[in-house]
A and B are shown apart, each in its own frame.
Chain A
Amino acid sequence: MPSLFVLTPFLLLVVVNLPFKFLRKQIALWPAVGGMLVAQVVFSTFYPLNIGRGIADPFEQFFMFGLSLDSLSSIMLLIIGIVAFVSVLVASSMISEERQVFHFLNLILISVIGMNTTVLISDIFSLYVFVEITALAVFVLIAMEKGKFAIEGTFKYLILSAVASVFMLTAIAFFLMAVGSTSFAAIKDAFASNSSDAFLLKLGTGLFLCGLLIKCGVVPFHGWVPDAYSAAPASVSVLLAGVVTKVSGVYVLLRLFGTVFILNAALQNTLLLVGIISICFAAFASLTQTDFKRMLAYSSISQVGYIVLALGAATPLAFVGAVFHFFNHAIFKSLLFVNAASLEKRLGTTDMDKIGGMGSKMKVTSATSLIGLLSTAGIPPLSGFWSKLIIIIALFSAGRPVYAVIALLASALTLAYFLSLERKVFFGKVVASPAAETKASFGITFSEVLLAAITVAAGLGFAFILNTWLLPLKEIVH
């Protein structure tokens, strides 16, 4: 089964590029890509419910690298499916030019192939290759509108990604020297057996971490995040903030540092420190932002900090919390970026000083943004509360009460900057709005409602999500 998640988008990519004119018509393209992503959501939802397991994979031999589908991968596939689908929906109401649609969907397909393979793969070198494939597609996506800021944002992301690549490749070389193989299983054994090459392993782990932290965009490697997120076209920023940086940075971090490498005390402390600094620094930085999307970008850095922090606690419960927060964050951050897209489409700007009182004019956007931001701030009963709670309980149980307390109180900061956002944009008197006023389109409204519904459902039905997807994760953590 796992190979289907790679082959289907690949085949679709080949088909849409066949030299037939009708294949390039919008009317065929949107449903094809959208439908493929819906199928991905459906299949990855069913996997943990034990449906479709045990069916022999006929394409197994096709791949040189091992693909394996475990519970962590299935959650990731689910998130990729949902967010990419939403991104396509938003794009369908923002992009209308035929040629651009074609380019956009091709790039989306490539990035989905890259991400799907990244989360399925069990070999560190192939992992690196697919992370790069994803990144390449996304560089072009960000720069697609060719504006000054778009180029600048892409450039920053590109350069820092290149630095990250150097770190990661060097680390892989060390692993190859020390272990003789790049598969997860072999590296895991090498860590467990405490071999003579411990120094190389340590060096490799450290270097890989540096590369990943750049990819995750946590403090102090966060410089590219606000520029890239805010410069990207609306639909791309949903994809970028919702899954791309999460999969190519945070997922890899979770997979390697949660299930493959064995963390020593120094590494744990590093992760805890990076996590807590990201949480606090980015929260303070958010307070001063005046652009909707930049504020969301800083908030994203802060929330990734929670995941890194949880990983530093290095307990199975913390890992569960980290993955839960990953899921929640992908959903509500995408939701908030869709809200930004909605504002941008309606008013032509996301500068919060120029807008106000939109609550009465854009009811759906206003209500769903409220859900998104309260969830981000960890206000119950929304999803973000439960994942933060689990992380904080795990930190307490792991004997790190100081980190737990700081992380918890940072929620008040999160709430503070989101209240200022809400006050400026929605909750207030109407400010004379710019001329460009168009009705929100179906695609955007539907995405908002869908993501908000998932946020609420994940909050109320947290027990179901924990039992079905997350608690089984404890088994794959050592």
Chain B
Amino acid sequence: MEKQLILFLIVMLPVAGAFFLPVVGRFSEAVRNRLAFLLVAASFVLSLTLLPSVLNNQVITISQNLPLGFNFILTADALAVFMAMVSSFISAIIIVYSFTYISHYENRGEYYLMVVLFLGAMMGLVFSGSLILLYVFWEITGITSWRLIGFFREKQHVLRADKAFLMTVFGALLMLIGFIRLYVETGSFDLQVIKEAVKIHPLSGLTVALIMAGILSKSATLPLHTWLPDAGVAPSPVTALLHAAVLVKIGVYVFARLFVVTMPLDIPWMNVIAIIAAASALVSAGAALIDTDLKRIIAYSTISQIGFIFLGFTVSNEIGVAGSLLYILMHGLAKAGLFLCAGIIEQNTKTKDITKLGGLMYTMPVTALSFLFCSFSVMGIPPFGGFFAKYMVIAGTLQAGHLAIAFVFLFGAVLTILYLFRVFNMVFMGDVGSSSAKEGSPSMVFCVALFAVLSLLGGILISYPNNMIAIVIKQMITGSIPT
């Protein structure tokens, strides 16, 4: 098959296919569920087929000129394909988990529509070669996550969904102002044109600040992070998808795409962002340490870990960026696993309050073990995948000479270990509570176990992801530094 067609299908299959899901669901639930899985899996498989050519330093582009420079451009380079593979793979597992999780709630048609549309928009965003297309997909992810957070229709839930939507849209509008400033200055939304243009006219600080506002709001980084813990009222597969694996990575990805690849930022800017990331990592780790709601703790943990990913990109040396990319993968796997474990616990014990839970180690052993494995990866304990990523980020920071920031993040890593052990202790150890909780359904347990095993394998077989990331980095860095 032609590569352009594959690229087009990766984006359009889930985007267009999503709208058929509610229709199919009217006739057969089982067919709809499988179709949803197939659409997402197809995106993953098709991304995989692009892998050999992008690793050979090929860049695949689809371009359609539209009036006023609102061009439709999809570009697949190594970074984009890497990101697409990570997102679609994790999403596919989450959909399998949803089969039983969501089966006894209302509005299932809307659920699958939104989840698959979300993934499709994510694919579009990852491959966008023009700022305007990126913005379009960015907002589609916002719409879908709004519907998904308010999925249970409780008044409180819908309010929080609105809050999340408004905060991210506000950030996105600021970002759009930044994009329009770029457009007025360079005459184009095309990233390639902008890349050439900023070599001559450096970016204005205001534009950078505006775009950063959008990125920080989407990636739930201080001070625009408050929507993320609140959004934990969504169904657990959704929180896994949105808050751990995919949505919050959008901001990080766009940061890498714009400010590492297309228009590299100056050192002072990078330092400012590193400091924001450090503050964000510490504050949210502190919040995670005192909260008692299981999903809120994991959400705060996400905010904290996003700080690490930002840090690696800001030091702009190879090892730091490699650490960040690796952590996008490892954190996605481990955090999705944690949220899905939380989903099993929540559904079987009917509570998310960790002070009311206890002793689940004995009644749900597989979930407990999976939770532990995923926690190890997030804590950064060798030989789990998270360890290598965190190590590389901090090594990169040291290489760049930021001793103080590296130290802050080490402290953040220690806090991570503390709060995750605290959660594990309170939920799984101790006396068996009054609840007669059972293990989740086989397919749900299989999914969490899979994430746990992958977190471990990711560490043991670190050379495979690392080799790929090395090529991604080569393309990113050589592309970004004018030779």
- Interface residues in chain A, defined as those with a beta carbon under 8 Å from any beta carbon in chain B: 317, 357, 359-360, 374, 379-381, 385-386, 389-390, 392-393, 396-397, 404-405, 408-409, 411-412, 415-416, 419-420, 423, 427-429, 462-463, 466-467, 471
Chain A proximity mask over B106-121: 1 for CB below 8 Å, otherwise 0: 1100000000000000
Known: A380-B136, A393-B183. A415 touches B153 (CB 8 A): no
Q: List 23 A-B contacts (CB under 8 A).
A: A317-B68, A379-B143, A380-B135, A380-B139, A381-B136, A385-B136, A385-B139, A386-B70, A389-B132, A393-B183, A393-B184, A396-B180, A405-B177, A415-B165, A416-B166, A419-B165, A419-B166, A423-B159, A427-B147, A462-B70, A463-B70, A467-B67, A471-B67
Cα(A467)–Cα(B176), bound, Å: 24
Q: Please tell me which one of the listed residues A379, A405, A420 contacts residue B139 in the complex, with CB atoms under 8 A apart.
A: A379
Distance (Å) between the CB of A37 and the closest chain B CB? 30
Cβ of A379: which chain B residues have Cβ within 8 Å of it? 139, 142-143, 169
Cβ of A408: which chain B residues have Cβ within 8 Å of it? 173, 176-177
Q: Is the Cβ of B67 less than 8 Å from the Cβ of A466?
A: yes
Within 8 A of A (CB), among B399-448: none
Cα(A294)–Cα(B362), bound, Å: 59
Cα(A409)–Cα(B147), bound, Å: 22
Indicate if B154 sits at the interface (CB-CB under 8 A).
yes
**Main secondary structure on A side of the interface with B:** helix
Give the total of B residues in contact with A, Cβ under 8 Å.
34
Indicate if B66 sits at the interface (CB-CB under 8 A).
yes
Cα(A468)–Cα(B174), bound, Å: 31
Q: Is the Cβ of A415 less than 8 Å from the Cβ of B169?
A: yes
Beyond the given A389-B176, A428-B153, please list 5 additional residue pairs across the A-B interface where CB-CB is below 8 A. A359-B153, A360-B106, A393-B184, A404-B177, A423-B162
Cα(A412)–Cα(B169), bound, Å: 7
Distance (Å) between the CB of A412 and the closest chain B CB? 5
Known: A379-B143, A405-B177. A463 touches B66 (CB 8 A): yes
Report the 6 A-B pairs with minimum CB-CB distance, sorted nearest first. A380-B136, A463-B66, A419-B162, A466-B67, A412-B170, A396-B184
The closest CB in chain B to the CB of A380 belongs to: B136
Max chain B Cβ within 10 angstroms of own Cβ: one of A317, A360, A380, A386: A380
Indicate if B181 sits at the interface (CB-CB under 8 A).
yes
Distance (Å) between the CB of A95 and the closest chain B CB? 33
Cβ of B150: which chain A residues have Cβ within 8 Å of it? 427
Cα(A415)–Cα(B136), bound, Å: 16
Distance (Å) between the CB of B179 and the closest chain A CB? 10
Cβ of B142: which chain A residues have Cβ within 8 Å of it? 379
Cβ of B173: which chain A residues have Cβ within 8 Å of it? 408-409, 411-412
Cα(A429)–Cα(B106), bound, Å: 12
Cα(A420)–Cα(B166), bound, Å: 11
Indicate if B252 sits at the interface (CB-CB under 8 A).
no
Indicate if B476 sits at the interface (CB-CB under 8 A).
no
Distance (Å) between the CB of A277 and the closest chain B CB? 20
Cα(A397)–Cα(B147), bound, Å: 36
Cβ of B158: which chain A residues have Cβ within 8 Å of it? 423, 427-428
Cβ of A385: which chain B residues have Cβ within 8 Å of it? 136, 139
The closest CB in chain B to the CB of A405 belongs to: B177
Cβ of A397: which chain B residues have Cβ within 8 Å of it? 184
Distance (Å) between the CB of A452 and the closest chain B CB? 13
Cβ of B263: which chain A residues have Cβ within 8 Å of it? none
Q: Is the Cβ of B68 less than 8 Å from the Cβ of A466?
A: yes
